[in-house]
Structure 1
Amino acid sequence: MAPGNVAHVTDPAAAAEPTVLVRARAGLGRLTLNRPRAINALDLGMVQRMHEALDAWEPDTDVDVVLLDGAGDRGLCAGGDVRGLAEQVTSGRADDAAVFFREEYALNARIAEYPKPFVAFADGITMGGGIGVTGHASIRVVTERSQLAMPETRIGFTPDVGGTWLLAHAPGRVGEYLGLTGAVMDASDAIYAGFADHFVPHENLDGFRDALETRADPSLAELVFLFDETPPRSKLEDARAWIDDAFAADTVPEIVERLRARPEPEAAATADLLGELSPTGLAVTLAAVRSARELPDLRAALAQEYGLVMWFATTQPDLAEGIRAQVIDKDRAPRWSPATLADLPPELAASALAFQPAIPLWS
């Protein structure tokens, strides 16, 4: 999930449009997320439609490559429908949220394990749930328009959809930095951090799509090489000195202390940002990323994340409050509980990681 820009479609013609366009041609199965007014934010029906298409295409010998892209010019996917999540949490319907999370995480794993090449165009805004459907693909393409992030701490939450698995395997302490701050990555940063593989200019994406349909060689290696270009140097790479130093600290307060001690203006700005975010979300996210480093695979990370999101949804006020402040009322003045890092119970993160949902993710 992520604080997606979820719009309510009122135009009857627009409402009749399929929210996922599914078609197959010349060996290419194409999935297009089709809620452009909401930056293609995911809902349960979209996730289920993608499951159905992947199930149908797996045994289909006429489909040998799958492509995921997004309608509209703003981005692939802004995340999940967090307005709906807030409503479910505040009305005591966390079980409904659990249904969505189980379906979504199963899709994330399905994409990672799909037996046919899965190409994802993370063009434009690709955040939260958008990372879940692109970050585990076998061929992950970014452009000069790409904006990738796991911004869950901005709404008092924690990265999910396999995001902690990706963050855990980023270079150095970049994963802790991205997970705690929700910082936005451009194409260069996304490739450096391990969230993407190839840089293709936006103007060449149509040509890439056409080539996927008309190629004679079932191997994609040569085709990808033809379109792949070298991106500029990553700003994250240049910031590794202060990121690694500060985000190697054992706790969030110690991270903030190290940031304050650094000479870089970016480090001080990061310390200021962390002071505005949910103390609970920060502490749990730090523990989750570090725990994910010790897990054997993506499925184990998704199971850990599922326990954490249900812990937030059923026991913590910060999730609904963060969505209210950032997405619904947009007053940008969340009232976190507890309000400061100093007020956090010392075993909070450990208790969150130990939480067992009523229905397990994998059963």
Structure 2
Amino acid sequence: MEPEVLLETRGEAGVITLNRPKALNALNLDMVREILPQLRIWAKDPAVTRVIIKGAGERAFCAGGDVRALHDLGRAGHVDQAVQFWREEYVLNAYIGSFPKPYISLIDGICMGGGFGLSAHGQYRVAGDRYMFAMPEVNIGLFPDVGGSHVLPRLPGAFGLFLALTATRIHAAEAHACGLATHVAHTAAFPALEEALCSGMDVETALAEHCIVPGDGAFAAHLDFIAETFGEKSLPAIFSRLEDAAGAGGAHAEFAATCLKAMRAASPTSLLLVMEQMRQGAQKNLDDCMRMELRMVSRVAAGNDFYEGVRAVLVDKDNKPQWKPARLEDVNPADIAHHFDPIPEELQLLAPGA
């Protein structure tokens, strides 16, 4: 069998290749347990001056964590094993955020969930022609984790909350415009860029020589509307603005209706968790966000909606989840607050560069 992740040193670069192309390079616990120790070695190796991470195949950088496996563990009564994956994944995410050398993600293809966690906290994020990003966790009864509570609230114009609540898919130009991607390059330029980075060329110089300036992106005409609507402080207020815009027949009517349709299909509990995690995450550093997210996911893994969402989307594929509660107004605020309460085993993170 092919290794699920390839770890090699080429020139001055440590190179990570996610190597599950048939599974869209979905991240599993074995991969996490290979990547983190190697990053710690490269952090201390003076011959390695930068790290590159990429995905094998043409379809995906990393389409997320292996949520089907986590669903199966939880359904079989092994919730602790499912939470252990998130625990170790979050340690890796936080370590990437404190990695002491340039960390360059070459993202060409799908980047969701776990792929976001492997790339978003690094210094450089290069989007290719096939780049497609989304955080669709509200559709499976989860929330945008792997550090989403740190990154998304910091995107300009409430764009991060918009992405989190609607699970909207974006491409390279939109990612660059909002800051999720630091650079954009044509797919054909990726091999030469990687070679330049491995050769030891100054990272900024290599990026400047191989990257392009993208256009405005698909949402340029809606940015002010997104900022005003998703800048509201409560979920009912966001829904109200969207409903008003959808019924007004103006320039944003169709866009607002699309947002409404997406949010009405999502888990009500997840939507409310997103609102609170974004509020709290905006005030926390990455490490504290990861600790918060482990508290949250520990409660999600003991609940209903994650398993129901994965069943509906990935197992039975009927796309008819039975959320509990099924309506926003029936979600108990105390239940949402409980997701953020301390847990017996809080997340223990590595010291920066350790």
Give yes or no for the alignment of 1:257 onto 2:244: no
Distance 2:289 2:223 in 1: 25
Match of 1:278 among 242, 267, 274: 267
- 1:212 corresponds in structure 2 to 197
Aligned pair count reads: 343
2:126 pairs with 1:141: yes
- Aligned-residue offset at 1:351: 2.5
Whether the aligned pair in 2 keeps the contact of 1:169 and 1:194 (CA below 8 Å) is: no
Corresponding position: 1:231 with 2:214: yes
Shift of 1:107: 0.8
Q: Is 1:221 matched with 2:204?
A: yes
Match of 1:303 in 2: 291
1:27 is matched with which residue: 5, 8, 12?
A: 12
Counterpart in the other structure of 2:256? 267
Work out which of the residue numbers 171, 174, 181 in structure 1 matches 2:156: 171
Partner of 2:226: 243
Q: Where do 1:183-194 residues align within 5 Å?
A: 183-194=168-179
Instruction: Report the Cα distance in structure 1 between the residues aligned to 2:170 and 2:294, rounded to whole angstroms.
Output: 25
One-letter identity of the residue aligned with 1:260: E
Local SS of the residue matching 2:122: coil
Q: Deviations over 1:244-289 (max 9, x none)?
A: 2222233223211110101321012211221111100001111111
In structure 2, the partner of 1:327 is 314
Distance 1:244 1:99 in 2: 37
Distance 1:285 1:63 in 2: 38
The list of structure 1 runs, each at least 4 consecutive aligned residues, that deviate by more than 6 angstroms after superposition, is none
Residue 145 (structure 1) shift: 0.9
Q: How many Å separate the matches in 1 of 2:186 and 2:94?
A: 28
Deviation string, structure 1 residues 26-63 (Cα, Å, up to 9, x no partner): 11111100000000000101011101211221222221
Distance 1:345 1:204 in 2: 51
- Greater RCO (CA < 8 Å, at least 6 residues apart): 2
Q: CA deviation at 1:347?
A: 3.3
**What letter corresponds to residue 321 of structure 1 in structure 2?**
E
> 2:101 aligned with 1:119, yes or no?
no
Preserved CA contact (<8 Å) 2:111 2:131? yes
SS in 2 for 1:115: coil
Aligned-residue sequence identity (percent) comes to 36
- Residue of structure 1 in register with 2:352 after alignment: none
Q: For 1:60-103, what per-residue CA distance to the aligned partner results, in whole angstroms no more than 9, with x for missing partners? A: 22211111001111011000011111112222212112211121
Query: Is the partner of 2:339 in helix, strand or coil?
Result: helix
The range that moved more, 246-255 or 78-87, is 246-255
Deviates more, 1:188-197 or 1:237-246: 237-246
C-alpha distance in structure 2 between counterparts of 1:77 and 1:343, whole Å: 35
After superposition, the CA RMSD in angstroms is 1.3
- The AA in structure 2 aligned to 1:63 is V
Counterparts of 1:322 and 1:344, CA distance in 2: 17
Letter in 1 for 2:47: D
Shift of 1:224: 1.1
TM-score scaled by length of structure 2? 0.94
Distance 1:127 1:106 in 2: 18
1:162 paired with 2:147, answer yes
Q: Distance in 1 between matches of 2:219 and 2:74?
A: 35
- Say whether residues 1:79 and 2:68 are aligned partners: no
Residue pair 2:51, 2:102 contacting (<8 A) in 1 also: yes
Q: Match for residue 182 of structure 1? A: 167
Q: Does structure 1 conserve the Cα–Cα contact (< 8 Å) formed by 2:141 and 2:270?
A: yes
Instruction: For 2:31, give the aligned amino acid.
Output: M
C-alpha contact (below 8 Å) 2:139/2:309 kept by paired residues: yes
Provide the residue aligned with 1:5 in structure 2: none
What's the offset of the Cα at 1:301? Answer: 0.9
In structure 2, what residue type is equivalent to 1:88? Answer: L
Whether the 8 Å contact between 1:313 and 1:319 is mirrored in structure 2 is yes
- Partners of 1:302 and 1:196 in 2: how far apart? 21
TM-score, normalized by length of structure 1?
A: 0.91
1:360 aligns with 2:325: no
* Deviation of 1:346 (Å): 3.3
Secondary structure of 2:15's partner? strand
Q: Is the 8 A contact 1:127 1:148 kept in 2?
A: yes
Identify unmatched segments of 5+ residues in structure 1.
Answer: 1-15
